[in-house]
Structure 1
Amino acid sequence: MTQQSKGNIFALLPLLIFILLFIGTGVITQDFSNMPLNVAVIIASAVAIAMNHRGKLSKKIEIFTKGAGHENIILMVIIFVLAGAFSEVARGMGAVDATVNLGLSLLPANLLMVGLFIIGCFISITMGTSMGTVVALAPIGIGIAEQTDIPMALAMATVIGGAMFGDNLSMISDTTIASARTQNTSMSDKFKTNFFIVIPGAIITAIILWVITAGNHVNDLGDYSYDFVKVLPYLIVLIVAILGVNVMIVLIGGTIFAGVIGLIDGSYTGTTFIQAISQGIINMEDIAIVALFIGGIVGMIQHNGGIEYLLQFVKNRIKSKKGAEFGIAGLVSVADISTANNTISIIMTGPLAKNIANEYDVDPRKSASILDIFAACWQGIVPYGGQMLAVAGLASISPLAIMPYSFYPVLLGICGVIAILIGFPQFKNSKTT
């Protein structure tokens, strides 16, 4: 994608308009449904295309559509619709109720969110993908919220928190690979450094979840009876995903497996099974379209110099080693807020971060960790990120309702800031190259 060499602050206007429309309207009116996400993103897209008046309209539309058609955006859209199909088919054959009842029979209500968070951490660190974790665990979180006093937004934020834990640490995560490679350090060294920085945040998150759900009670479900066969779709999906199978294959296979169980036990006929798949896809269409438009907006912002402006703005304010580490954190933060994609933000800012790290003697293990930590932090917070859109779509709630419960992403960022302030960890030997 073509990008102007000179930064341009005005190129950020579409993103600002989108945020003001989506969030500002809700704050002013106290009702976030007054400005639907799809309307806000279309208005911002129109502004993005209208900017740079010297360019031909056809050329600007081409740039917008290339951004919307970026391979990561299209992959995200496909995952959205497949996740919707799996979620609806599994729900229709009773998998959610069975899984929730199983959990309720094993854990008290005040430990359900803690358990969900820990499971999410484990799955994401073994899978290496936050999106895969989100679409696998969100239906279970929804079921737990429906059968307890736990707010739906809290359950979805817990799923995202667990997903971002592993996305930030996993040895097979694309963000770990990108951050380690751009900083010229090994993934195992990056993992060790990163782990000790963020683990306090995970522990505090678990404690917070335990405390705030201590008074919750479970709805009267009798003896919490469940058919273990109906739990198998989720169990198989999680196991297969952990083994490293592509998330699209996992979701397609899970949908078919859940449908076959439903056909055997009479929950579905051939027609109702197909209708459930269709309904699941329809449920995610709105979110998928929003993701496409956001990709187009980011493409226009990048072409017009908005991303370049942000990167240079941060770089020009670095004066010391500690400032360099905060500068690297700021670089990847503004990139992720602008692109809503943590992998792209790391790839985009990694080379510049490496130059800064070399100039100010920042250990590459630390710079790689900072890149990944702050990219994951903001990715778990921004209401227009893929993970947030996915769980909001599955749960039929506003992404903004989830944000106040984003304990782990916030604590992830706080841990990163503290590590920079106190110079943690101390390295016995520098690996700066």
Structure 2
Amino acid sequence: MQQQQQKARGIALFPFLLFIIIYLGAGIVLQSMGVDQAFYQFPAPTACLIGVVVAFIMFKGSIDDKFAVFARGVGSQDITIMCMIYLLSGAFATVASTMGGVDSVVNFALSVVPVHFITAGLFIVACFMSLATGTSMGTMSALVPIGIGIAQTGGLNMPLTMAALIGGAMFGDNLSIISDTTIAATRTQGCEMRDKFRLNGTIALPAAVITAILLLVMGRPENTEIALEIGSYSVVKILPYLAVLILALVGMNVFAVLTLGVVFSGVIGFISGDLTVLSFAKAIYDGMLGMMEVFLTSIFIGGLAEMVKEEGGIQWLLNKIQKIIKGPKSAEVGIALMVVATDMAIANNTVSIIVDGPIARGIAEEYKVDPRRTASLLDMFACISQGAIPYGAQILMVGSLTGGAVSALQVIPLLWYQGLLAVFAIISIFVPFADWPIKKNPWNFEKWEPMHK
């Protein structure tokens, strides 16, 4: 296989395309059969494994040689680090939730939201919770039932309330340092989470602020005498989330940050009586198990990408892209369109980033696009697409929990945050208002690291 490494062969991309076709096709077929959450029934690791098997059959060379290439991809530094971060972030999220962290975040946030501004308040609560927990689906499963009750009693526009919650959930899904999309974007591009957070946050924050202002004006309740049922909370139980965010932003190693987060959450759980040694250990394990799908998908994609690269598939694709892309700006536009198209096909923003990550990095290397930019673009546009497609998990959850009272067609036009984020992200490509972290510490493309560590 080594002799073919420099070749550009389009047919070598077939195993990758097969993975997407199987994943997309299964979703379309199941949706036509009326299956709930149709695009999430066929496991991504299984679809990817089929692509791996086909690659072993298609590509020339002995089984041993092909497996050596596959193992090289699986065992690459970026894949290994990414998978370890997945496990630790899952452990932290579950331990913190088990000791009551999620309930405390929700109840504390609701306690400080004025009733007159409840729709904007729900958006901000969703932003805060998703930023703390790193999961849009976890945020929505906690807040959508609350939002439904508030909308019904307060005479709120139900579709607008649901759209506000989806937007807030996608804010943290995109930005949180323990979000699987952030982990995938930064590791595939080879940059630090804190750098991506600073650049990405500069783009996302104006979109969030404008969305909140619009919701303040457009989302006022008819009934201002809403009696919110707010449960008990402990500010202490919120501290692990703040600690993880702050420590990550000041530059502490992400493994140390997440490990300290797990320990901190565990200690609080022991003191409060919410955790025992056994339940603490089980929460760590359950958290790791909860990341198993993205963990396995990352491993298989890592190995498959290396095989496709070895056979010339990635080079062929880059050659084709080079005929369209004329410089760094069009390269960034191409990366954005690529990840949107992939997410629209498979309705999974994390998997979309994992699939497109190696290609985006190749484009970044060719056109000298800062990887902190490409990581931000991958994450932002994957989340924009994921939070707006009618068959995405977020909008499907709204339809399910409202009993069909709110349809995708009602919600999508009201997804102001996603639309504004897209506008600011596109502007940032041509007017680099968010590039202050890049200008402060330029990228060394030869060593693939910042000039000043």
Normalised-by-shorter TM-score class = 0.5 to 0.7
Which of 326, 329, 333 is matched with 2:333 structurally?
329
2:70–2:306 contact (8 Å) kept in structure 1: yes
Aligned in 2, Cα 1:313/1:116: closer, same or farther, shift over 3 Å?
farther
The equivalent of 1:157 in structure 2 is: 170
Q: Using the TM superposition, give the Cα deviation of residue 292 of structure 1 relative to its aligned residue in structure 2, in angstroms.
A: 0.8
Quick one: distance in 1 between partners of 2:427 and 2:371? 16
Aligned residue in 1 for 2:320: 313
Matched, 1:104 2:110: yes
Question: Do 1:97 and 1:226's aligned partners in 2 also have CA atoms closer than 8 Å?
Answer: yes
Partner of 1:83: 89
1:302 counterpart residue number: 309
Partner of 2:354: 340
CA deviations on 1:377-402 (whole Å, 9 max, x unpaired) are 4454687xxxxxxx9xxxxx9xxx9x
The answer to whether the 8 Å contact 2:120/2:212 transfers is no
Following TM superposition, by how much is the alpha carbon of 1:107 offset from its aligned partner in structure 2, in angstroms? 2.1
Cα distance in 1 for partners of 2:175, 2:234 equals 27
Name the count of aligned residue pairs: 367
Corresponding position: 1:47 with 2:54: yes
Distance 1:267 1:317 in 2: 57
Specify the alignment match of 1:68 in structure 2: 74
How far off is 1:263 after superposition? 1.3
- CA shift, 1:105, in A, is 0.6
| SS of the residue 1:60 aligns to | helix
What is the RMSD of the two structures over their aligned residues, measured on CA atoms? 4.7
Are positions 1:269 and 2:276 aligned together? yes
1:62-211 to 2 correspondences below 5 Å:
62-107=68-113, 109-112=118-121, 114-115=123-124, 135=134, 143-145=142-144, 147-149=146-148, 156-163=169-176
Structure-1 separation of matches of 2:237 and 2:201: 36
Cα distance, 1:325 vs. partner?
Answer: 3.6
1:138 Cα deviation from its structure 2 partner: 7.7
Amino-acid identity (%): 30
Q: What letter corresponds to residue 124 of structure 2 in structure 1? A: G
Asked whether 1:224 is paired with 2:231, we answer yes
Amino acid at match of 1:110: T
Question: TM-score, structure 1 length as denominator?
Answer: 0.67
CA shift, 1:101, in A, is 0.3
Work out the CA distance in 2 between the residues paired with 1:19 and 1:223. Answer: 44
1:222-266 deviation digits (Å, cap 9, x = unpaired) = 343212222222222222223222222121111111111111222
Aligned-partner Cα distance in 2 for 1:352–1:412:
27
| C-alpha distance in structure 2 between counterparts of 1:19 and 1:84, whole Å | 26
Shift of 1:103: 0.5
Corresponding residue SS for 1:39: helix
CA contact (8 A) 1:82 1:248 kept: yes
SS of 2:252's partner is coil
Query: 3-state DSSP class of the match of 1:226?
Result: coil
- Secondary structure of the equivalent of 2:6? coil
Q: Deviations over 1:314-344 (max 9, x none)?
A: 222457x7xx742553268659968737875
Cα separation, partners in 2 of 1:63 and 1:425, compared to 1, 3 Å = closer
Per-residue deviation, residues 122-147 of structure 1 (Å, max 9, x unmatched): x7xxxxxxxxx764898666543464
Q: Counterparts of 2:360 and 2:222 in 1: how far apart (Å)?
A: 40
1:295 Cα deviation (Å)?
Answer: 1.2
Instruction: Return the alpha-carbon distance in structure 1 between the equivalents of residues 416 and 70 of structure 2.
Output: 34
Is the counterpart of residue 240 in structure 1 residue 247 in structure 2? yes
CA contact (8 A) 1:345 1:375 kept: no
- 1:184-227: CA deviation from partner (whole Å, max 9, x where unpaired): xxx9xxx99x999887655565567779987799x987343212
Equivalence for 2:22: 21
Gaps in structure 2 of 5+ consecutive residues: 32-37, 149-160, 343-351, 387-393, 395-399, 401-407, 434-438, 440-453
Note closer, same or farther for the CA distance 1:251–1:425 as it changes in structure 2 (3 Å cut). Answer: closer
Shift of residue 371 of structure 1?
5.0
